[in-house]
Amino acid sequence: MIHSLFLINASGDIFLEKHWKSVVSRSVCDYFFEAQERASEAENVPPVIPTPHHYLLSVYRHKIFFVAVIQSEVPPLFVIEFLHRVVDTFQDYFGVCSEVMIKDNVVVVYEVLEEMLDNGFPLATESNILKELIKPPTILRTVVNTITGSTNVGDQLPTGQLSVVPWRRTGVKYTNNEAYFDVIEEIDAIIDKSGSTITAEIQGVIDACVKLTGMPDLTLSFMNPRLLDDVSFHPCVRFKRWESERILSFIPPDGNFRLLSYHVSAQNLVAIPVYVKHNISFRDSSSLGRFEITVGPKQTMGKTVEGVMVTSQMPKGVLNMTLTPSQGTHIFDPVTKLLSWDVGKINPQKLPSLKGSMTLQAGTSKPDENPTINLQFKIQQLAISGLKVNRLDMYGEKYKPFKGIKYMTKAGKFQVRT
């Protein structure tokens, strides 16, 4: 299965390595560095790189490459899912998953990785179980460990490991019983010059934070469950019940977890929440060009579009840009030719626009193609697919919990061609 794991930062330094079976030389990462050089961006590095004696499987998150080395044939998605689980565990343990945080807690990192894999095979990947095995670092615990020479390793085996629900420990008690669910959807889209949708799809997740006493049994039902394609569940969900009734029935883990992830790819179901009006023109004989863009909301059910950020990679022939935004701030980098416009919140009564001129290199021909516009945005209290939670019920316990559902839509790779 997985022989070794290398953590590589953005500048190409291996700052942590862990070996489970046999020690694999760092030189195996040279194949990864070659692929990294060929890729224009970090996200474009191939996730699977074959080498003469190994396969390198990687994920890129929080500006760190997590590179797993395997020697035999294994399902690649199995390894990639495990790497994502490692990142999520670090985030849960340390608050953020960054190079500095990993280096500061290197002992805990090695202890956690040792528990997550046994001889290269995944063993304990549930955050709740791991926290009983390896206590999360606190300032007090770090001081005590330094003075006494003890470690964060727990004294006894987690109670959940011995039960039929290994993701939940026994004897959980809370004074406030609450269950919160976040429906988060990310829309990836390519819009053509005329405003028509070339491709659009939604990746969605339901993240839960459940703090309930005892061993509650929850059911979650949706108004329109048929929307969901390609659904992936947490192991706690009873799949037979979902197949027959389209209801999520589960005994939840204690704390934070991802209940399910889903995909909506039918073109007619994907509403595009923003539009961009653009007029970008380059003249043949002149060294000046015109640049105008306006951003507006569309199909947002009256919800506010906020956190809007527009970026565009301008052609190499553009020397400078003189632009005036109606709101927000903009920056044009003459070296990288990247234009960034931080719009903020869109007011439907007064749409934000960015207008001005471009100075082109003298004597060069008109650029072959117009730049593409990339958008980032988020909309609170809206699931753009139309997914709605109908009700959440609890069985097996007498108390009444506090329940809350929150929706959010944000842009993934949202591109407008001009």
Q: Pick the residue with more confidence: 14 or 163?
A: 14
In a domain, 400, yes or no: yes
Query: 159 pLDDT band (50/70/90 cuts)?
Result: low
| Residue owning tokens 């390894």 | 79
Q: How distant, in Å, are the alpha carbons of 103, 165, 176, 193, 238 from that of 217? A: 40, 12, 17, 51, 11
Q: Which domain CATH number covers 109?
A: 3.30.450.60
> Which residues contact residue 76 at a Cβ distance below 8 angstroms, ignoring those fewer than 6 apart?
47, 48, 55, 57
Span 29-44, average pLDDT: 91
**Do 375 and 408 fall into the same domain?**
no
Q: What is the pLDDT of residue 155?
A: 63
> Could you count the other beta carbons within 10 Å of the beta carbon of residue 98?
16
**Do 97 and 241 fall into the same domain?**
no
Q: What are 322-344's pLDDT values in tens digits? A: 999 999 999 999 999 999 999 99
**Do 392 and 251 fall into the same domain?**
yes
In a domain, 244, yes or no: yes
| Residue owning tokens 């919990």 | 401
- Residue 138 class from Cβ within 10 Å (0-12 exposed, 13-18 middle, 19+ buried)? exposed
Q: What is the pLDDT of residue 161?
A: 59
In a domain, 300, yes or no: yes
| Residue owning tokens 């190499």 | 316
**Do 281 and 263 fall into the same domain?**
no
**Do 362 and 316 fall into the same domain?**
yes
In a domain, 360, yes or no: yes
**Do 140 and 193 fall into the same domain?**
no
Q: What is the pLDDT of residue 369?
A: 83
Domain that holds residue 50: 2-148
**Do 263 and 348 fall into the same domain?**
no
**Do 9 and 118 fall into the same domain?**
yes
CA–CA separation, 253 and 126 (whole Å):
9
In a domain, 157, yes or no: no
In a domain, 167, yes or no: no
Q: What is the dihedral of CA 280, 283, 284, 285, to 10 degrees?
A: -160
What is the number of structural domains in the chain? Answer: 3
| Count of CA atoms in the C-beta half-sphere (13 A) of 74 | 23
Q: Output the 3-class SS for 65-124.
A: EEEEEECCCCCHHHHHHHHHHHHHHHHHHHCCCCHHHHHHCHHHHHHHHHHHEECCEECC
> Which residues contact residue 78 at a Cβ distance below 8 angstroms, ignoring those fewer than 6 apart?
none
Predicted model pTM: 0.85
Q: What is the pLDDT of residue 42?
A: 87
Q: What are 261-313's pLDDT values in tens digits? A: 999 877 666 889 999 999 998 877 778 889 999 999 998 888 999 999 999 99
**Do 12 and 131 fall into the same domain?**
yes
Q: Which domain CATH number covers 254?
A: 2.60.40.1170
In a domain, 164, yes or no: no
Cβ atoms of 70 and 88 within 8 Å: the answer is no
> 270-284 burial by CB neighbour count: b if 16+ within 10 A, else e?
bbbbbebebebebee
The pair phi, psi for residue 331, each rounded to 5°, is -140, 135
**Do 371 and 412 fall into the same domain?**
no
pLDDT cut 90: percent of the chain above it:
70
**Do 135 and 183 fall into the same domain?**
no
**Do 11 and 144 fall into the same domain?**
yes
Q: How distant, in Å, are the alpha carbons of 55, 257, 368 from that of 132? A: 33, 16, 60
